[in-house]
Structure 1
Amino acid sequence: MEGRLINPSSGLPDAKLSPVADSSVLQIWGGHPLHGHVRISGAKNSALVIMAGTLLCSGDCHIRNVPLLVDVDRMGQVLSALGVSVQRNGDILDINASNITSSKAPYELVTQLRASFFAIGPILARLGVAQMPLPGGCAIGARPVDLHVRGLQAMGAEVQIEHGICNAYVPGKNRRLKGAKIYLDIPSVGATETLMMAATLAEGETIIENAAREPEVVDLANFCIAMGAKIQGAGTSTITIDGVPKLHSIDYTIIPDRIEAGTFLVAGAITRSDILLSPVVPEHLVPVIAKLREIGVPIVEEAPDSLRLLPAERLVAADIETMPHPGFPTDMQAPFMALLAIAEGDSLINETVFENRLRHASELNRLGADIRVKGNTAFVRGVPLLSGAPVIGTDLRAAAALVVAGLAANGKTTIQGLRYLDRGYDRLDLKLLELGAKIQRLPAAGADPEVAPTTINPEASISS
């Protein structure tokens, strides 16, 4: 196995990720409190769309704080297939899209990564033509692209979907999109980002109403503004973009990942731990922090960019309803279900964003939870404790929920489905290991049935 450099900012080894980690499993021996400091990586959902946003620029883009994820690797492969130069050095990506050689993204990559579809906006804005396969990703329900298509059509594009390919072009001599007033039926993050990127190079003014307000939308807007785009209102329900002829080179740092931070907060809460998280943006975590405090978990702001979680004396039930930002994030629903599984009393979780995002309930029940699902609602009756068992992650956040539950369960929990986990968490197992968790990643055939590790070789903890 080739050597790895230590990232001085985190103490964790750098690694080259395999696109498929299903051949390995995580083993967790639960019941051990966590302690210490965990460094939060850059936001996955910002990194992916900002990588797509580099297509708007004909110069060099220097992107910092990019997490080490399978999804980031895949997006890099999509960009490379379009003729873009992508080079990685630690958590920095150097991207140059001055010579886009293709307007067609590869089917085999786009169907594995939904965020890659968002590149249709900047490709169309730069070249006047784009061919994008319909997207894939986690199986958490239908996420149609009709809002993206209708918005691009409002900006003057001709768009047809045939045989799973979205073909778009801009008629006319200069092949530039035109500013338009666009209303989104729902505040879709992907549609907001796609159309905002397309509008940066369009002729005239574009207004997006009922726009998504997520921090990652604001991060993308700030990235585009730093390149010379004229955008106002990001973070509100109305975004106004005045198109410019071109954008310039940029050195930009991605915001911390609020979902990773929230996952570590829940991991600390379920294990009655004392941990410090940084860097974070506390304003991005308001609904998560509020719900944890309602459940009984003490959280304090140690500094403007750090949070400290203290051991809870008692965990009590709470109701959760997922909503678009600034409501409770759907990406935190699964980890919170694991936490509420051992809280005193009955909790109700209503998933309103995606229609197929409660499949982790049955896996949590394998660990001894008492959860009933009806439609998009889960009824959680708290139990005194969970017990280790073999389980399978069915999507990204479901896999994270099983890790969280395994940290608290008595005995050994073995988790399969790591290809989902590695899509969205930067070396989660190694970060938990640094906090004192008894956790190990092994090839599925080499999983030890009984013995908890006292020391773990980091080379065995990340696939290469």
Structure 2
Amino acid sequence: MDKFLIDGPSKIKGKVSISGSKNASLPILAATLLFDLPVTIKNLPRVKDISTMLNLLKSLGSKVELSKDKKIAKISNPKNMKTFASYSLVKTMRGSILVLGPLVAKLHKSKTSLPGGCLIGARPVNYHLSALEKLGMNYEIKDGYIIAKSNGKLKGAVIKFPKISVGATENSIIAACLAKGKTVLKNCAIEPEIKDLTNFLNLAGAKIEWIGRTCTINGVNSLKSINYSVMADRIEAGTFCVAATLSKGSLEINNLDPKIISTELNLLKKTGAKINKNKNKISIKGPEKIKPIKNIKTKEFPGIPTDLQAQLMVLMCRANGKSSITENIFENRFMHVAELQRLGANITIKNNKAFIDGNTKFIAAELMSSDLRASVALVLAASVANGKSIINRIYHLDRGYEKIENKLKNIGIKIKRLKK
């Protein structure tokens, strides 16, 4: 397994270009299963989760042609598509469950493995299943597989999600596109990645409308061939904004609409960061002294994303005073705390709340990644620590950040990938 060697402390300076969004690409790629005609998806990030999803599509019979840089995929579906999504592909990534809706909507049956992914909490698929059931899908769970079928076309329904769920919202929208009649989804997740998915589907001829957290889909018979460019990755952008703030750095972040991280930027301003926004770039300068924030709370969009919680915790470790973070999305997302404590962090956990004593002088150590976002938080902490840190199990990072060590090297972090 590869690991990172990071020699700190570093000061960040320069420019970085944000890759396409992993969390928008995955549902869009899953939705290509609905199409009879070829579809071209651009601005795909070169990360492990995207390779997994493309391999899953290939296993279902899709023909995938990749550009030389692997950022553009042309996807064509044959008439005799397969309906079996095997455990060997689905086990590494929760996003794989997103093929269930389109397979049942298009082919009226599917055998999809229950998914895997990061160990950050239960994340059950019951919201997906109950919503698809209301659209006319029958299913049983047997030997770790969801065996599903429908009696012909799915039929529109009114569905209220008992809890806001990104994945269940996406799966239901995709499935409802080819359903007969009107589907109304209430209490939906409204993350920018979901709006990107619906924008893609609408351009292909779907009929989807939003009012607040209610999404209305009028089913169509088929979708037309399109070229579509995926939005920028707001979590990657937020990570680099935290990195600049953390290290008294100065960074220009390109290739994104600053509006998609306005909540995060407002939070960083409170810590003392100086931020300028243009049409598709952000300039950010870290403060000499980072101000603490009393209670950061993760929340569904437009709140602070859970995917930035670990990075913000590193920032608060260096803040000049006490702060706290409440994790409201996942019940098991403080696994990075023990590793930050190895670097010298003073953090106490009570239930879903972390209390952080600031002014930490991180001292280098050997560390272990537990999940995707925790991994990048350890990279940030190691970059401002004194000495050489080793971060193990960085395959988590490769799932969601495109060539992160190259981007970090270019802005002044002394980082090296050690092959094993």
TM-score by length of 1: 0.88
- State whether structure 2 residue 219 is matched by structure 1 residue 251: no
> In 1, are the aligned partners of 2:137 and 2:150 still within 8 Å (CA)?
yes
Distance 2:240 2:79 in 1: 41
> In 1, are the aligned partners of 2:345 and 2:360 still within 8 Å (CA)?
no
Q: Could you say which residue in structure 2 is the equivalent of 1:200?
A: 177
> In 1, are the aligned partners of 2:344 and 2:360 still within 8 Å (CA)?
no
* Alpha-carbon shift at residue 282 of structure 1 (Å): 1.3
* Alpha-carbon shift at residue 151 of structure 1 (Å): 0.8
For each residue in 1:287-312, what CA deviation from the matched residue of structure 2 results, as whole angstroms up to 9, or x when unmatched? 211111111111111x2110001131
> In 2, are the aligned partners of 1:59 and 1:98 still within 8 Å (CA)?
no
* Alpha-carbon shift at residue 160 of structure 1 (Å): 1.4
- State whether structure 2 residue 85 is matched by structure 1 residue 105: yes
Runs of 4+ in 1 over 4 A off after TM superposition: none
Q: Could you say which residue in structure 2 is the equivalent of 1:219?
A: 196
> In 2, are the aligned partners of 1:84 and 1:100 still within 8 Å (CA)?
no
> In 2, are the aligned partners of 1:300 and 1:308 still within 8 Å (CA)?
yes
Distance 2:219 2:328 in 1: 35
Q: What code does the residue aligned with 2:388 have?
A: K
**Partner secondary structure for residue 439 of structure 1:** strand
* Alpha-carbon shift at residue 248 of structure 1 (Å): 1.1
1:39 to 6, 17, 20: 17
Distance 1:268 1:410 in 2: 17
* Alpha-carbon shift at residue 377 of structure 1 (Å): 1.1
2:47 to 44, 69, 81: 69
Structure 1: runs of 5+ lacking an equivalent: 1-22, 445-464
1:170 to 150, 175, 181: 150
**Partner secondary structure for residue 84 of structure 2:** coil
Distance 2:51 2:314 in 1: 29
- State whether structure 2 residue 134 is matched by structure 1 residue 157: no
Give the alignment of 1:342-361 within 5 angstroms: 342-361=318-337
Distance 1:164 1:296 in 2: 49
> In 2, are the aligned partners of 1:265 and 1:309 still within 8 Å (CA)?
yes
Give the alignment of 1:234-313 within 5 angstroms: 236-301=212-277, 303-313=278-288
> In 1, are the aligned partners of 2:6 and 2:416 still within 8 Å (CA)?
yes
Q: What code does the residue aligned with 1:201 have?
A: L
For each residue in 1:377-404, what CA deviation from the matched residue of structure 2 results, as whole angstroms up to 9, or x when unmatched? 1111002421111101100000010011
Q: What code does the residue aligned with 1:29 have?
A: D
**Partner secondary structure for residue 233 of structure 1:** strand
1:316 to 291, 297, 315: 291
After superposition, the CA RMSD in angstroms is 1.0
- State whether structure 2 residue 3 is matched by structure 1 residue 25: yes
For each residue in 1:75-99, what CA deviation from the matched residue of structure 2 results, as whole angstroms up to 9, or x when unmatched? 1111011000112112111111233
Q: Could you say which residue in structure 2 is the equivalent of 1:138?
A: 118
Q: What code does the residue aligned with 1:229 have?
A: A
Q: Could you say which residue in structure 2 is the equivalent of 1:451?
A: none
- State whether structure 2 residue 388 is matched by structure 1 residue 412: yes
> How many correspondences in the alignment?
417
Q: Could you say which residue in structure 2 is the equivalent of 1:388?
A: 364
* Alpha-carbon shift at residue 121 of structure 1 (Å): 0.6
Distance 2:143 2:172 in 1: 23
In percent, how many aligned pairs have the same letter? 40
1:435 to 402, 408, 411: 411
2:305 to 313, 329, 340: 329
Q: Could you say which residue in structure 1 is the equivalent of 2:167?
A: 190
> In 2, are the aligned partners of 1:122 and 1:197 still within 8 Å (CA)?
yes
Structure 2: runs of 5+ lacking an equivalent: none
> In 2, are the aligned partners of 1:84 and 1:99 still within 8 Å (CA)?
no
**Partner secondary structure for residue 232 of structure 1:** strand
TM-score by length of 2: 0.98
